Structure 1
């Protein structure tokens, strides 16, 4: 109980006063110590367990490895490798639970090559083990490899569950593989897991990321028990269509369903209003954010500043920014971005030149995005010679910078071969 509540020190005090410590209590404390980042304590208890004559079983090993995976630190990784070696030494690494736990640890800690070696060495992995490998590949952005494992799973006749499809659809989103995603859609129908909200959410998100909005909305409408993630995905689809009326209608339906929005909901809605340049709708959502208490969430704050800035309400953006007690880097970036956009629209040359000087001083002038913005500003002001001189001052430029310069010169009908 103390460990689950984050009071590991109190848990250790109870542990120290126990006259008899069995395998269960020691396993609990090892797992708690590792999850709390106290890997040295965990190792000490683990060694004490072995010295006491107790033999760690598959549940002990599994609990320790789970703690290492959740801790996600260098020490936890090294501790987990030691436990892996111990499992191999005592001959239980082929145990389905132990092997799956080892695989999960490497996958969660993004050592995908080690995870792959463990996966290929296992002879009796269950569905959960296969799902872990698929999820590990997807998490590390190896979408194609994730899909290959799914194909192998189908070919071998391994049973599939909702987690299989969620991880596989994530792989499709990473790779942009719509064809494979459609095949998975067919398997989902065949496997009768359309009742799973998490699977349908992942399917809708896959279609959205592959720019198939109509298909995403059809999937959304088929979800029997829509949760907040389902609705957030749908809100994102409408934001792409730049349709204020449809967004407002969907939010109204969302509220009628007695759904409770989360910080992601408001972050999406505020950025939609910024894209649509609809300040009135944004202010209504702002009132809702205040009502539900999400206005001070980091991503919501940034989205609010972005919305005010995009709608040309820089006074509101600055007022809101000044009211924040905890100003993080993202909030500063959103405000500065809004100021830069205002300077660009108002053709405030002197301000842009001062900002250019600050950019050079801070060493960010070689960044592709920054370079493109400055070129765009100078072209907007009609200072083609300045922009061309700035452009020629760099030895290496990315595609975005080249594209910005070529587009600007063509727009002004300048001979680009001069």
Structure 2
């Protein structure tokens, strides 16, 4: 590990997760259908855990998490799952026998993310003038003296962030053979970077799947905050849709606004993915719309089922109660603290509209596996 000075890439919360055991009867809307909805993905998680050393840490802290923070903690639940039939009643009996519900005492807050679908070209032509870059060869990750991870490069014996967004826009990476594709606009690139993965529809109708491959190490500055400070948007109007609309309506200012966020994300091609599932999450498993969430791994283990009670907007912006079982299969750089989660809504315009409008409070109940014995 390289020990260098710098700032952490991901936020962390000093607040300790507070859990209280509850009965399944306390979960409004709990049913066999909900249990069955995650069984296939849970099986995929178990196959993943079986490849890991038993002491592999999945997240959370041992004093707070009674069980489930190590890969070996799942041996019992995963062993029984292998012989559990795929029907609603069997799935419900299985989860109630092998997982204990714990209510997160902190208030929950939910936002959404999606897999953008944009148009692109394998070559620079016509309207396709914005490059989508692969990870530069000199971009590395290292540990700070405080133990946090940072990204950057070594230059003249010193470690510092890689080129900023403005420097890259000015051509710092041009001609290095890093272009994976060319997009129609800087806004398409920016929202692809915000979400961390996406689908690029080529002129011949083929689709290139791309996923996160690294970041330049500069701090992330929310563009919504910049627009509010400039008086361009009211704070209550800051949504992904409104930000995109503002950028599209002000092409002469869009680049300078986007460059206020020096943070820059690089991508890699994702091969062999099922078109019916999302990009792989932190466990390497394809995300499922409405059934996968991103959490803070500092406070909660990856893989655990989570019962969500909140309100969700539809594609038309109408908000209604939403109570469902999901799986903690991903992490996010702005997801920090107990009760904080990002719901994966899928891909395409409808998924973008739902994710962009989701900012709701609610409750969260985590289902922790019982010990193997």
Larger relative strand fraction = 2
Greater gyration radius = 1
Same topology, TM > 0.5: no
TM range, normalised to the smaller chain? under 0.3
